[in-house]
Amino acid sequence: MITRKLFFHMAVAAVMTAAWAGISFADYLIAPPPALGARPLGMGGAFVAVADDANAVFWNPAGQAQPDNQQALTIGGNVTERDTVREEWLSFVYNENENGTGTLALSRGDYFLFPVISSDTGLPDEFWYKFQNYAYSIALVGTENLYAGFTAKSLNDQLYNRFDETRIGGSGVSFDLGLIYRWRNAVTLGIAAQDVGSPIVNMDGQFDFYDDLGNLVAIVDSVKHPAVITAGMAVRPTDALTLAFDIYDIGQNISDSEIRAGLEYRPIKSLALRLGAMGDNTTFGIGASIGLLNLDLASVSIDGTSYGYLSAGMAF
C-alpha cells in the first residue's frame, strides 16, 4: 500500500473543508454529490421538481421522462476560479419515446482542499480531490402524471498533491433514485435520493496528515459519498414563469437541511432569466436559444467569490 506523509497548519486542521464543494474529512474524505448544470445553478439549485432537460440526470433521473424535456444534449463547466475548482459535465439523452427515455452522462471535477507540505520533497504543495463519474440513467412513465427514474454510476476518485503529483485512487458504484408527480401541469412535486447507501470508495494507498508538532491527526484512505435526499416543488403560474423550492439533504437531520429557491422567467420563448438562493448563497443566470441550440450562463456567489458556469445544449 502506498503511504504519503503530509504536514499542514493547525489553523487548516480546524476547518478542513472546501468552501464550494462541501468536501470535508475525518479519517475519510466526505464528498457530497456535485451540483452540475448552468441552468439548475442559475435557479439556486432548486431543480429536483423542475428537472425537465438533459441536466435531470444530475438532479432527479425521473425528470428525463417528462413531456417538457426537449433537450437531447448538454455540455458545460465552470469558467472562473479554475485555480481552486474545476468542473465539467456531459449528458446525452436518447431513445425518447412515450414510455420513457435513457441518458448517458459523464461528470468530472477537481477541488483544491488545503495547502500542505510534502514530506517527500519538503516543499509547499496543494492537496486536491478529483472525481470522474460515468452514469447510465433510465426514466419511465408510470401514469400520465407520475414519472420514476434510476441512475447507476461508476465512481472514480483520486486524492493527490498537485505539484509533486503523488496520488492515490479507487473506484466504486453508486445509485440514484427519483420520482416526479405533475398536477395539472401547473404544480410539480419531486423527490430524489442520490448515492443511495452512502458508498465508500477505498483507495489504493493512504495519506497521513501531521500537524506542526509532528502529531498524526488523520489517515485518509477512502472517500465516502453520503446519501442525500432532496424534496422539491415547482409551480408554474404562467407558461413564462417557473417558481421552484427545494429542501436539500432531508435524510439525516432536517434541521440541518439547506433551503434552496429559484425562479425562471421567459419574457420571450428564446430568452430565460434566472435567479436563486442556495442556502446563504445567491445565484443568477441567463439562457438563450436559437433554433435547436441553446446557451446557458450562471453565476454562484459563495463567501464573496463568484463562480461562473457555461453550458451549451441541443434540442430534439
Digit-coded pLDDT (tens) for 54-75 = 999 999 999 988 877 667 889 9
Residue 15: band (very low, low, confident or very high) from pLDDT cuts 50, 70, 90: very low
Q: What is the pLDDT of residue 117?
A: 86
State the maximum Cα–Cα separation within the chain, in Å, rounded to a whole number.
Answer: 64
- Our count of domains for the chain comes to 1
Q: What is the pLDDT of residue 224?
A: 94
Q: Which domain holds residue 115?
A: 2-315
pLDDT at 10 over 80: no
What's this model's pTM, rounded to 2 decimal places? 0.89
Residue 228: band (very low, low, confident or very high) from pLDDT cuts 50, 70, 90: very high
pLDDT at 21 over 80: no
Contact (CB, 8 A) for 62 and 139? yes
Q: What distance in Å separates the CA atoms of residue 55 and residue 58, rounded to the nearest whole number?
A: 6
Contact (CB, 8 A) for 233 and 247? no
Q: What is the pLDDT of residue 17?
A: 42
Model confidence pLDDT, tens digit, residues 87-146:
999 999 986 667 788 999 999 999 998 888 877 777 888 999 999 999 999 999 988 789
Question: Residue 264 belongs to what H/E stretch?
Answer: strand 258-268
Grid coordinates representing 298 are 450562471
pLDDT at 267 over 70: yes
Residue 300: band (very low, low, confident or very high) from pLDDT cuts 50, 70, 90: very high
Q: What distance in Å separates the CA atoms of residue 89 and residue 70, rounded to the nearest whole number?
A: 19
Q: Give the CATH number for residue 285.
A: 2.40.160.60
Provide the strand spans (E) within 98-166: 100-118, 124-141, 146-161
